[in-house]
Amino acid sequence: MKLLNKFLISIAAVSLVACSSMDVEDSEAIAENFPDDFSGAEYMELHPELVSLQIRNYIAGYNDEVKASLSAEAIAEDAQAFVDDTVQLRKIYANPYYGGFGDDRWVEAFKPIDTIAVTCKTANVFTQLNMKQVSGEDTTDIKVIAPITVVKDADDTNKIVKVTGMTDSAATEPETFELNDTLFLLSGKNMGTSKTDTVSCDTTHGEKPGALKTLDVNYLKNFNIVDTKNDLAKIESIPLDTFAISLQYVVFGEANGWAYRKCKDSEMDNPVITEEYPVSKRYCADAAGNAREIK
């Protein structure tokens, strides 16, 4: 059943904590509210995120205690080793009770990514000097290309009075321009730039390895146990409070329309959930994960 969002998950977390803190008498009283055909194992199978949530909470509490005795370097090294162990990471990622992403998504993430590289062959790297010529109301841009020869005023060595150079990078004969009031050099950024004549470009197709999304990696770090390299084995040994997960249905799931069992063949065409929360009916889950009314 895919009715969960971040809001419901946060509420579910509160519910699990509340359930875990109940004494036996309270738990037994609430247990009387279970449907007659309720199965804790089946409820966890339909909502594996509740198991994942309990495991992540357990690891977070465990790590908080252990980190106090470890150096920052040791913690960082352990975190990196966890991410680098892709064999173990894949199992945690795909397991519905841990990462919950599924193995197909892992395979998709690591598919090679197509790359395109463009390499251009060049000739004639040249400097371009920009001038402007004014004739009446018309203006013409003139670009003079290296090799450029400039002649400065004899009385003012900073003033350029004549420019000789090519007007095209493919030209063979230079031209000479006498600068005056109507033909002058542009100044500042527009005075001149380096240019490259492009002869031809080759496009090369390649591949680079795929990788998990950063968000997925950060989520998986919630399953890293800081004082072990064999995180998966330790995760599998975490004692689950299965009764607390079952009680989540009573204190939260039922009122919010969570399916508590799989639909029977005779229920596959029952109406899909339409009620606003809190709901007054009970629901089963069909093969597609839709919650359907139990009549």
CB 212 within 8 A of CB 105: no
pLDDT per position as a tens digit, 229-287: 999 999 999 999 999 999 999 999 999 999 999 999 999 999 999 998 889 999 999 99
Query: How far is residue 15's CA from residue 218's CA, in Å, rounded to a whole number?
Result: 25
**Claim to verify: residue 79 and residue 38 sit in the same structural domain:** yes
Question: Final residue of a domain: which of 179, 205, 231?
Answer: 205
Query: How far is residue 26's CA from residue 4's CA, in Å, rounded to a whole number?
Result: 27
CB 91 within 8 A of CB 232: yes
Does any domain span residue 241? yes
Which residue has better confidence, 23 or 185? 185
pLDDT at 7 over 60: no
Span 37-61, mean pLDDT? 97
**Claim to verify: residue 103 and residue 121 sit in the same structural domain:** no
pLDDT per position as a tens digit, 208-223: 999 999 999 999 999 9
Does any domain span residue 103? yes
Angle between helices 86-94 and 72-84 (to 10 degrees): 70
**Claim to verify: residue 161 and residue 218 sit in the same structural domain:** no
pLDDT at 95 over 60: yes
In this structure, what DSSP letter does residue 279 have? Answer: P
Does any domain span residue 192? yes
Mean pLDDT for the chain?
A: 86
In this structure, what DSSP letter does residue 141 have? Answer: E
Q: Tell me the pTM.
A: 0.64
**Claim to verify: residue 46 and residue 103 sit in the same structural domain:** yes
Coil vs helix vs strand at 92? helix
Does any domain span residue 1? no
Number of domains in the chain: 2
List CB contacts of 15: < 8 A, sequence separation 6 or more: 247, 248, 251, 252
**Claim to verify: residue 105 and residue 121 sit in the same structural domain:** no
Using the CB atoms, write b or e for 175-212: b if 16+ within 10 Å: eebebeeebebeeeeeebeeeeeeeeeeeeeeeeeeeb
Which residue has better confidence, 165 or 69? 69
CB 153 within 8 A of CB 162: no
Query: How far is residue 244's CA from residue 242's CA, in Å, rounded to a whole number?
Result: 5
**Claim to verify: residue 192 and residue 227 sit in the same structural domain:** no
**Claim to verify: residue 12 and residue 73 sit in the same structural domain:** yes
**Claim to verify: residue 33 and residue 82 sit in the same structural domain:** yes
pLDDT per position as a tens digit, 138-147: 888 888 887 7
Span 126-130, mean pLDDT? 73
Q: 156 is in which domain, residue-wise?
A: 117-205
**Claim to verify: residue 130 and residue 144 sit in the same structural domain:** yes
Q: What is the model's pLDDT at position 154?
A: 84
Does any domain span residue 217? yes
pLDDT per position as a tens digit, 280-289: 999 999 999 9
Query: How far is residue 264's CA from residue 42's CA, in Å, rounded to a whole number?
Result: 13
> Which stretches of the chain are DSSP H helices?
6-20, 24-31, 40-46, 48-67, 72-84, 86-94, 103-109, 214-220, 231-236, 242-248
**Claim to verify: residue 92 and residue 133 sit in the same structural domain:** no
**Claim to verify: residue 189 and residue 56 sit in the same structural domain:** no
Cis peptide before 147 (omega within 30 of 0): yes
Question: Final residue of a domain: which of 205, 225, 246?
Answer: 205
**Claim to verify: residue 24 and residue 103 sit in the same structural domain:** yes
